[in-house]
Amino acid sequence: MDFKVKGEEGKARVGELKLKRGTIHTPAFMPVGTAATVKGMLPENVRSLGADIILCNTYHLMLRPGESIIKQLGGLHKFMNWPRPILTDSGGFQVMSLANLSKRFDNGVSFKSHIDGKEYFLSPEYSIQIQQALGSDIIMCFDECTSSEATEREVHKSMNRSMEWAFRSKTALDSSLGGTLFGIQQGGVFHEYREESAKKLMDIDFMGYAIGGLAVGEPQDIMFDVLDHSTKFFPKDKPRYLMGVGKPGDIVGAVLRGVDMFDCVLPSRSGRTGQALTRRGAVNIRNARHANDPRPLDQDCSCPTCQKYSRAYLHHVCKIGEIISAILLTWHNLHYYQELMGDIRSAIYNSELDDFAKQFFRIQKEGDIPLI
């Protein structure tokens, strides 16, 4: 792995992360292909939108079809026909979110599958083993994520456990099998624990650093406050990844605070539920106001959805539950996210990010275009 910062404006950076299977232009948004597919999209279509890397989910792939089958069939890239870089999360967040189906121990987590109730045990060592069997390009440490309702004592205990698991994750990594390992900072909304976590991770020494445990229910201003404090502890020559974020406004705000990489299910999940994400904010295409509107979702958008289909058509196919509705809205949403990241990179290169951000939030606040 080779990461180079090509330009800066304030805390924001534009750069290139070079991996064996391709270069990632940062700040970057990673579409989420949970179970080896970005829902509603062919891999070549995802790439055509400008995505350099996608995220896949260790927890879901270990359950179905299983890492051994994927390895036997040539690895995750061949299995899903995506030749470019893949980041796999560790499975920690999904296991922790199972609540009544999981039990936490110092050496790992036992849980029952949400599919058939079968019992599993996931440890830092097994998580790394799975991710390397999949052939992941960026591997995430196994960590424990606390909810926004956790007490300070619970957050501190959990952070320390995550740091122990980070050390075990790095020890378990087989360098001969490839893969770049990222550490994950935890500590909830507590500044002192975020600092403690960052310093422990840097003592272990990783190729990149993720910020975990945010976007779990805390208000945006709290998340930004934590980011203001968190990113300053990480080395400037390593990429920074904010996990599970997010909304367009969250991404712009996080870039201003020095974050390089993002992922979120929002673009694809919103597309499947009739919501388009635009430069003017979210548009609920199921709303009756769109029933006879001949205009595109966004007249300035170059995606196939906006170039070829009207709001009225999208409203129609969404209301009657046609599959093409989810496809067209997902296509638009992912295009918008990649276009947003490209605009952010250009703004940083040209030292115009502050002006870009002000205009972005102003247009978002104005809302959707008025009725005809």
Which residue numbers are catalytic? 89, 263
| Side-by-side strand order, sheet with 119-122 | 102-105, 108-112, 119-122
Q: How far apart are CA 262 and CA 214, in angstroms?
A: 12
| Cα-to-chain-centroid distance, residue 242 | 7
CA distance between the termini of the chain: 52
Residue 49 carries which DSSP code? T
Instruction: Give the residue among 18, 17, 20, 42 at the shortest CA–CA distance from 31.
Output: 42
Contact 183, 166 (CB under 8 A): yes
Instruction: Give the residue among 236, 234, 266 at the shortest CA–CA distance from 250.
Output: 266
| Dihedral angle of Cα 268, 3, 179, 336, to the nearest 10 degrees | 10
- How many degrees, rounded to 5, is the angle at CA 163 between CA 157 and CA 169? 135
Q: How far apart are CA 165 and CA 123, in angstroms?
A: 8
Residue 25: both structure tokens together: 């232009």
Q: How far apart are CA 96 and CA 73, in angstroms?
A: 30
Q: How far apart are CA 326 and CA 314, in angstroms?
A: 9
Contact 91, 142 (CB under 8 A): yes
Q: How far apart are CA 323 and CA 334, in angstroms?
A: 17
